[in-house]
Amino acid sequence: MARPSNALLVFLLLCLPSLTFALDVRDTLARLWRRSSRSVPAAGYSNPNDNGGSMLTKVLGTTYPAGQGEPVNTIISGNSNSAVLVDQETDGGLRNYYLSLSFSSECLGQHSGTDQQVNLGDGNGYLNETAVIRYNYGDPSLGACTETIKGGNHFRYWVQNGKDANTGAIFMAVSYEMPIAQDHDIVVNGYNLARDYIVGNISGTVIPTLNLTNSSTYSGNTSYGGYTYKTDISYVSGLLENTSIGINHNLSVYIPGVTNAVDGLVAVLDVSILEQPEESAGWRTRPKLWLLLLTVLGVSSFSL
Ligand SMILES: *[C@@H]1O[C@H](CO)[C@@H](O)[C@H](O)[C@H]1NC(C)=O
Ligand SMILES: *[C@@H]1O[C@H](CO)[C@@H](O)[C@H](O)[C@H]1NC(C)=O
Ligand SMILES: *[C@@H]1O[C@H](CO)[C@@H](O)[C@H](O)[C@H]1NC(C)=O
Ligand SMILES: *[C@@H]1O[C@H](CO)[C@@H](O)[C@H](O)[C@H]1NC(C)=O
Ligand SMILES: *[C@@H]1O[C@H](CO)[C@@H](O)[C@H](O)[C@H]1NC(C)=O
Ligand SMILES: *[C@@H]1O[C@H](CO)[C@@H](O)[C@H](O)[C@H]1NC(C)=O
Ligand SMILES: *[C@@H]1O[C@H](CO)[C@@H](O)[C@H](O)[C@H]1NC(C)=O
């Protein structure tokens, strides 16, 4: 009597690897398909304003005509190395690139702060941010917790991958916030400065925020997890307005007579991979070989 249920259990256990394998294959194929069907204009992104979108986020709960917004002031170009545009920490992906800039995913996986939405003009309409990423003060595992409490640099990001503009470019709304005790307001000039701190950390120079123009360029190399990235940065005008009107926290962020809360410049980052760990290709395929082996075993013992 015990025999059939044992056989069933063995069968189910043997099925597990093939299920995981099937999901794994489907995932990889979907990712390859999305990547291969990307179409990237020379600029490296499609201007959301050209297609009903906007470079300002919507902050839910604010009222200026259709809500106040925060500037999407940094773009990782769709012309970057395609490994960098994959949202993962492995294989030199986006999260590993962020770590090379001293930015980590949220504190202990806990999401804090209100969601913001943006329409990148790619046919996806308004979407909540993919995630919030925080400056880690040099501590990749717990530093984002420090940022949540004592404030600092952080950003939300979205991927331009809808059917009308599948460029794969990453759009980031970067700002420098005050400590949690001050309700995470934005510091004076905190949108423009936060963008420039990222560029400053890449290039190893202090960026002259008030003197930037649409012909400013910088470059630098950053590393994490055995990967070294080269980033070429150019500041671009015409995507965002140079204004304080309609900008979230504008009263405390702009400097009267000196700068608007948003100076109208977007930093476009073109990222390439200079170095990667030698054994990374091997490690990537080995787990899949194991799954294949287990699947074959599972299928053959089922047919026995
Ligand atoms: C977007 O964020 C808002 C506010 O946090 C939430 O209520 C809503 O469910 C989210 N929408 C989606 C599609 O996740
Ligand atoms: C590097 O980033 C940190 C945090 O945003 C900032 O305080 C610092 O000024 C930046 N360094 C440069 C050179 O921009
Ligand atoms: C900005 O430009 C002004 C005028 O050219 C110059 O005096 C000032 O030193 C510059 N500031 C920075 C930070 O480069
Ligand atoms: C750069 O900005 C100037 C105004 O400051 C503008 O006339 C020019 O068209 C801009 N160039 C580009 C390439 O956007
Ligand atoms: C980045 O690395 C490349 C290749 O090693 C080198 O040619 C370039 O000078 C480096 N750039 C900077 C800003 O250090
Ligand atoms: C933004 O506009 C102000 C005038 O309101 C001007 O002084 C400043 O140069 C402009 N900034 C850029 C980056 O064009
Ligand atoms: C801030 O934006 C509001 C609209 O949201 C506008 O009425 C106000 O004039 C702006 N303030 C400044 C200093 O630009």
Segment 137-171, tens digit of pLDDT: 999 988 888 888 889 999 999 999 999 999 999 99
31-45, 73-87, 196-210, 286-300: the lowest-pLDDT one: 286-300
- Could you tell me if the CB of 218 is within 6 A of ligand 2? no
Is residue 182 one of the residues assigned to a domain?
A: yes
CA–CA dist 49, 261 (Å, integer): 20
Is residue 293 one of the residues assigned to a domain?
A: no
Query: Which residue is closest in CA terms to ligand 5's atom 13?
Result: 220
80-84, 207-211, 295-299: the lowest-pLDDT one: 295-299
Using one digit for the tens of pLDDT, what is the confidence trace for 238-263?
999 999 999 999 999 999 999 999 99
CA–CA dist 229, 85 (Å, integer): 13
- Could you tell me if the CB of 220 is within 6 A of ligand 5? yes
Closest ligand to Cα 237: 4
- Could you tell me if the CB of 123 is within 6 A of ligand 5? no
What is the count of structural domains for the chain? 1
On whether the CB atoms of residues 158 and 118 are closer than 8 A, the answer is yes
Beta strands in the chain (DSSP E): 58-59, 74-76, 103-105, 116-119, 126-128, 131-135, 152-159, 170-177, 217-224, 227-236, 266-275
- What is the DSSP pairing of strand 58-59 with strand 116-119? antiparallel
Q: What separation in Å is there between the alpha carbon of 230 and the centre of ligand 2?
A: 18
Determine the average pLDDT of the residues in 5-18: 56
Is residue 179 one of the residues assigned to a domain?
A: yes
Using one digit for the tens of pLDDT, what is the confidence trace for 215-240?
999 999 999 999 999 999 999 999 99
Residue 283, H or E segment:
helix 280-303
- Could you tell me if the CB of 237 is within 6 A of ligand 4? yes
Position 62 confidence tier, pLDDT thresholds 50, 70, 90: confident
- Could you tell me if the CB of 204 is within 6 A of ligand 3? no
Using one digit for the tens of pLDDT, what is the confidence trace for 75-134?
999 999 999 999 999 999 999 999 999 999 988 777 777 899 999 999 999 999 999 999
Q: What is the pTM of this model?
A: 0.85
Phi, psi for residue 132 in degrees, rounded to 5:
-110, 135
On whether the CB atoms of residues 55 and 48 are closer than 8 A, the answer is yes
- Could you tell me if the CB of 24 is within 6 A of ligand 1? no
Q: With a cut of 50, say whether residue 6 has pLDDT above it.
A: yes
> What is the pLDDT at residue 2?
44
Is residue 297 one of the residues assigned to a domain?
A: no
Q: Which domain holds residue 276?
A: 42-281
* Tokens describing residue 290: 């194991």
* Tokens describing residue 35: 């990547």
> What is the pLDDT at residue 145?
86
Half-sphere exposure of 169 (CA within 13 A, CB side): 28
CA–CA dist 16, 13 (Å, integer): 5
Closest ligand to Cα 67: 7
> What is the pLDDT at residue 27?
62
Residues 6+ positions from 150 with CB-CB distance below 8 Å: 179, 180
Is residue 73 one of the residues assigned to a domain?
A: yes
Is residue 36 one of the residues assigned to a domain?
A: no
Is residue 252 one of the residues assigned to a domain?
A: yes
Q: What separation in Å is there between the alpha carbon of 135 and the centre of ligand 2?
A: 10
What is the number of other CB atoms lying within 10 angstroms of the CB of residue 139?
Answer: 12
Select the more confidently predicted residue: 98 or 178: 98
What is the number of other CB atoms lying within 10 angstroms of the CB of residue 196?
Answer: 28
Is residue 289 one of the residues assigned to a domain?
A: no
Position 183 confidence tier, pLDDT thresholds 50, 70, 90: confident
